[in-house]
Amino acid sequence: MASGSVEGEQSSLADDYDALISTTDVELLKRAWRNEKAAPEILRFESDLITRVREQIELMEETVEEKLTVGTDPLSVSLYQMDLDRTLFLLRSYLRIRILKIEKYMFHIRKTEELWNRLSKDEKFFTERCTDDLKKHLEESVLSKLPENYQSYERQSVISEEDDMVPEPRLDTFVLCRSKEYLTGIQLEDGPVDDRSKLFEMEPDVLYFICYKSIKPLVESGKIDLL
């Protein structure tokens, strides 16, 4: 991709813009894929990115078709095909990881507003059907045969205070991450008691293992990459 060089004074905005236009969609997709793999909960669906990548893939598939018929040398055709395959792998893997997470935590996602909003339209449709099917299956095969008070698929019994039969992702897992800039003021809410109120800082390009909860907002805003 063309890397625009900005002459004269570089404000941080121009730097960001440079970084933006010189990062290809494939790199963005790779980043989204890695973040999704490493995060314990489902992250926001990158609908713009995925739409663009899908378009590019379709375009490329047409180009390859065309080149095959025209009779371009098989070497460059195979290279185009390889690139296409690589991008397809990233896309498929990204979608599959999300589906894996949805399947694991479907009831929880269904009832949590914040997580529900992170799904794409197709994923929402999938989740609804999945939860309905699983609920029906559980009720028909097991729950209807249990005594009155224990028939909910969400709670162990009527006297439970909350939905304790719904698996939730563990947000306090430790993840490996790296930031691109110097970040200060990260609150480590969880950890040994006396360290809890300490503010943590991160140098750029150094790897850290941190509790996911503490850096959740920074991952969402894109300042930290998970590895």
What does the binding site for another protein look like in residue numbers (CB under 8 A)?
Answer: 1, 24-27, 30, 34, 37-38, 53, 56-57, 60, 75-76, 78-80, 82-84, 86-89, 92-93, 96-97, 100, 104, 156, 160, 162-164, 166-170, 172-176, 188, 190-193, 195, 200, 206-211, 227
Q: CB of residue 11 vs another protein: minimum separation in angstroms?
A: 26
b/e burial code for range 210-227 (CB count within 10 A of at least 16 → b): bbbbbbbebbeeeebbbe
Nearest residue to 41 via CA among 92, 93, 109? 109
CB nearer to another protein: give 119 or 175. Answer: 175
Angle formed by the axes of helices 25-38 and 74-104, to 10°?
30
* Measured distance CA(123)–CA(178) in Å, rounded: 29
CB nearer to another protein: give 26 or 143. Answer: 26
Q: CB of residue 24 vs another protein: minimum separation in angstroms?
A: 6
CA distances (Å), origin 107, targets 78, 103, 104, 115, 151:
44, 9, 9, 11, 16
Q: CB of residue 66 vs another protein: minimum separation in angstroms?
A: 13
Q: CB of residue 47 vs another protein: minimum separation in angstroms?
A: 18
State the DSSP H helix or E strand holding residue 43, giving kind and residue range, or none if neither: none
Q: CB of residue 134 vs another protein: minimum separation in angstroms?
A: 15
CB nearer to another protein: give 120 or 160. Answer: 160
CB nearer to another protein: give 127 or 214. Answer: 214
